[in-house]
């Protein structure tokens, strides 16, 4: 694949890229985490055609199709590669499968026997995903930003250790206290794999990438520094050593008051904000440092109506004075209404300078 990096002239004109570069646009550009997903009937039809979830991720024609579906329907300003954070442990050789209605399952990794994982074939195993990136870029409207992504090492490790999602990430937190050397080796492996994977996505045509740390908020202060901040800082530095100026969004869900330090220490380009973080705090302490992305509560897309409008306006009024990418504070849920998504998009795009639509 030939590189098509964000340095290309066409990329510099894309609205999301412009905001990532520090420009304030109003109304702000908009996209939505998990925008290609089960809330859309066209996604469900494609998923049924593909068969298993991993087949959907690893078959470029299907991954391209579901990535494009919300762009066709809503005209979002960014498309995000359709894949999953667990393709990395799968590519390292860990058994991964998806139980319908139950979420991901993995054979738990043994921190004392990490030589069972094989990082040497990582990019070969992820080649179909990288082919999808190139295919998406070729099919997208020229004004639409393409985002790649990976899971942050801590969040990926929580699944690798527990074999599934858990309410408080207790198995991984316990490993951090009882098997710190084994966890450190696993984190080192995941940092290296993430750097290689994100660089390959940027070279395949992504304009920017996002690092999802869904479970960062489960960590105490010591753990946050060791497992949320340090690994992401190393990924950012590693990616930029290969792709100078790479645009990288960090999304440490649950970081809250630790966000400003996270931004300074990791040197991410922009910060994703969850819906629990007060807008006034973000405006005063995070947005002066970097552009921000977020942070509508996804449940407002289920409530719809006035509750949705108030939520949209609160974000626009609170953060619209600086560089903002409008988004949810986490991924859209499967039971959200496609009509409510259309209402949200219209509300954002119909906002007037200095205040949201009345």
Active site residues: 34, 38, 47, 84, 159
3-state secondary structure the chain: CCCCCCCCHHHHCCHHHHHHCCCCCCCCCECCCCCCCCCCHHHHHHHHHHCCHHHHHHCHHHHHHHHHHHHHHHCCCEEECCCCCCHHHHHCCCCEEEECCCEEEECCCCCCCHHHCCHHHHHHHCHHHHHHHHHHHHHCCCCCEEEEEEECHHHHHHHHHHCCCCCCCHHHHHHHHHCHHHHHHHHHHHHHHHHHHHHHHHHHCCCEEEEEECCHHHCCHHHHHHHHHHHHHHHHHHHHHHCCCCCEEEEECCCHHHHHHHHHHHCCCEEECCCCCCHHHHHHHHCCCCCEEEEECCCHHHHCHHHHHHHHHHHHHHHCCCCEEEEECCCCCCCCCHHHHHHHHHHHHCCECCECCC
């Amino acid at each position: 694949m030939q590189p098509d990096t964000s340095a290309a002239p066409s990329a510099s004109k894309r609205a999301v890229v412009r905001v990532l570069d520090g420009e304030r646009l109003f109304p702000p550009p908009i996209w939505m985490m998990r925008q290609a997903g089960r809330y859309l009937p066209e996604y469900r039809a494609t998923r049924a055609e593909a068969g298993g979830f991993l087949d959907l991720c690893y078959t470029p024609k299907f991954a391209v199709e579901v990535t494009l579906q919300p762009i066709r329907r809503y005209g979002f300003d960014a498309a995000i590669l359709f894949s999953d954070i667990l393709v990395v442990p799968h590519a390292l050789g860990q058994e991964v499968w998806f139980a319908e209605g139950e979420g991901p399952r993995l054979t738990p990794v043994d921190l004392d026997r990490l030589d069972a994982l094989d990082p040497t074939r990582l990019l070969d195993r992820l080649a179909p995903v990288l082919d999808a990136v190139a295919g998406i870029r070729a099919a997208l409207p020229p004004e639409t930003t393409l985002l790649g992504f990976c899971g942050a090492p801590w969040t990926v490790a929580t699944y690798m250790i527990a074999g599934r999602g858990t309410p408080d990430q207790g198995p991984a937190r316990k490993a951090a206290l009882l098997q710190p050397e084994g966890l450190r080796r696993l984190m080192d492996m995941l940092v290296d794999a993430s750097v290689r994977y994100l660089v390959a996505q940027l070279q395949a045509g992504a304009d920017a990438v996002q690092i999802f740390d869904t479970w960062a908020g489960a960590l105490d202060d010591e753990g946050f520094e060791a497992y949320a901040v340090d690994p992401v800082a190393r990924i950012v530095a590693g990616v930029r050593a290969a792709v100078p100026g790479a645009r990288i969004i960090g999304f440490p869900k649950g970081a809250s008051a630790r966000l400003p330090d996270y931004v300074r220490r990791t040197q991410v380009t922009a910060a994703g904000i969850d819906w629990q973080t007060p807008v006034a705090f973000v405006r005063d302490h995070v947005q002066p440092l970097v552009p921000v992305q977020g942070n509508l509560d996804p449940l407002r897309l289920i409530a719809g109506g006035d509750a949705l409008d108030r939520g949209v306006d609160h974000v626009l009024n609170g953060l619209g004075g600086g560089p903002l990418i409008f988004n949810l504070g986490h991924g859209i849920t499967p039971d959200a209404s496609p009509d409510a998504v259309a209402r949200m998009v219209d509300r954002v795009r119909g906002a007037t300078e200095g205040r949201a639509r009345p």
